Structure 1
Amino acid sequence: MELSPEENAFVDRMGLVMERFGGARTMGRIYGALLICDPPSPSLTELASALQVSKASISTVTRQMVEAGLIERVPAANRQHRYRVMPGGWSQVLRIQFSGLRMVLDTLDQGLAMRASADRDQRQRLEETRDFFAFVDADASHMLRRYAEYKKTK
């Protein structure tokens, strides 16, 4: 697997995109490479060579990506691990992220209970923050359902 200069630029930009979302740059670079590679299921060795990253680092990051549901390991005739992009991976990542909203809301409820008799400004800040996260929590599953319906029409 060899990347052209144009493909390498894309892969590097995907690294920056992933970094922007709080992930590791290497994770984004691997994901970018998997989006455009041919054949679509490179081995760890091929990824490490193409991205000029150690095989150990590729192994660690691909394991995290598999656990997150972004990529999957592909059965191979030899003992080499091969990977490909997981269909619906980003929806799964968002489901996991959205599941953390309950903890945010519980924490903000605790803050509101603690400041039940606080001055108006303190309560207003807490209420505004809680309202935002309550809205996101209520809309999250609706958005994922709408996306699933959208995908059916494509």
Structure 2
Amino acid sequence: MTFFAELARVNHPETEFVDRMGLIMERLGGTRTMGRLTAWLMICDPPDRSLTELAAELGVSKTAVSTLARQLGMSGMVERVPTSTREHRYRMADGGWAQVMRVQLAVLEQSLDTLDFGLSILGHDRSGQRSRVEDTRDYFAFILHDSDKMFERWKEYRESRLDVNP
């Protein structure tokens, strides 16, 4: 019996949380297992786990967990925990979701050059083609315009919550 099958029998709410986060991650463009992994790392105690433990606890292959941990590490969502052994251990990174958003915004920023190039090859008439490219470029630029302020507000909000809930 897998860890989660046993957990489902004993503590259904944790299993349900992990499974629900899997569905949310799918909606955000990730995989269900990626969502389950991040959810488990949010609530597991102790807060770090080895690849072997994660694979057993989630009922997936160690290779799948290793691949996802590497992807989530590159996005800033999880981090590798230093150990005195060769074992790789992972935990949720503080501010991980904000880092994921920064990565996504960097992609939007890079896409502005491509969209500007697209506009340059379409000429200046207001055809449907140009309008669709302009709309996309304007939307990306709009999102990027206040992103620094949004992160500042998030930092202030997060710090105020930490002051209230130490």
| Fold similarity call, TM over 0.5 | yes
What is the percent sequence identity of the aligned residues?
51
Answering whether residue 77 of structure 2 is matched by residue 70 of structure 1, we say yes
Correspondences of 1:3-22 after superposition (within 5 Å) = 3=7, 4-22=11-29
Report the CA distance between 1:66 and its aligned residue. Answer: 1.4
Q: For the residues of structure 2 that align with 1:112 and 1:42, how far apart are their CA atoms?
A: 49
**RMSD across aligned C-alpha pairs, in angstroms?**
1.8
Specify which of 116, 132, 136 is matched with residue 139 of structure 2: 132
Q: What runs of 5+ residues in structure 2 fail to find an aligned partner?
A: 162-166
Q: Provide the TM-score with structure 1 as the length reference.
A: 0.89
- Quick one: structure 1 residues 110 and 44, their matched pair in 2 at CA, closer, same or farther if it must change by over 3 Å? same
CA drift of 1:119 comes to 4.4
Per-residue CA deviation, residues 3-31 of structure 1 (Å, 9 max, x unaligned), is 33221111111111111111121111110
CA distance in 1, matches of 2:137, 2:82: 45
Deviation at 1:36, TM superposition (A): 0.9
| Cα distance in structure 1, aligned partners of 2:82 and 2:129 | 56
What is the Cα deviation at residue 130 of structure 1? 1.8
Q: Which residue among 142, 145, 150 is the counterpart of 2:152?
A: 145
- After the TM superposition, which parts of structure 1 deviate over 6 Å for at least 4 consecutive aligned residues? none
Show structure 1 runs of 5+ residues with no match.
Answer: none
- Partner residue of 1:40? 47
